[in-house]
Amino acid sequence: MTTTHCLCTQLRRTARGVTKRYDDALAGAGLTTAQFSLLRHLERLESPSITDLAAAMGLERSTLGRNVRVLEGQGLLELGNAVDQRNRLVSMTALGRARLDDALHAWNDAQLQLTQKFGSEKRAALIALLDELHALE
């Protein structure tokens, strides 16, 4: 792998590697990291509109829409009607809650492994740096 001083390249490369680690951990539960994140957001927000869910996740509506359709097809979530058909409500099904519960242990294990690898001080420093980068938006 070529080294680079480009922050964008380094962050994207690292994000792909970390995502793969979580995807591998979640594979046994039949979820990807993106799907797990979507279900966790639904758990916190209950039945948000697609627009509100996209905003909470920091995604474009079109990107979220693709992920929603996949999980809807698996019976993990459902779309309900809102006053405006363009902004439907998203809710998790009982099957989605069960799948999320199954995945939580694997997610927590992946979190713990990374924290143990770096130590809690480096993890806290990384979170602080990422928060600073995010605030630049």
Q: What is the reported pLDDT for 87? A: 74
Q: What is the reported pLDDT for 82? A: 65
Q: What is the reported pLDDT for 65? A: 86
Q: What is the reported pLDDT for 47? A: 87
pLDDT in tens, 49-86: 888 999 999 999 888 988 899 999 999 999 987 666 66
Q: What is the reported pLDDT for 4? A: 78
Q: What is the reported pLDDT for 85? A: 60
Encoded amino acid at 103, one letter: A
Q: What is the pTM assigned to this prediction? A: 0.86
Out of 1.10.3720.10, 3.40.50.850, 1.10.10.10, 2.60.40.10, which CATH number does the structure's domain 7-135 have?
1.10.10.10
**Rounded Cα distance, 34 and 4, in Å:** 27
Phi–psi pair at 90, nearest 5 degrees? -115, 130
For the chain, list residues with pLDDT below 70: 1, 82-86
- Three-state helix/strand/coil letters over 45-64: HCCCEHHHHHHHHCCCHHHH
Enumerate the domain spans of the chain.
7-135
Residues with Cβ within 8 Å of 40's Cβ and at least 6 positions away in sequence, in order, are 100
Q: What is the reported pLDDT for 118? A: 87
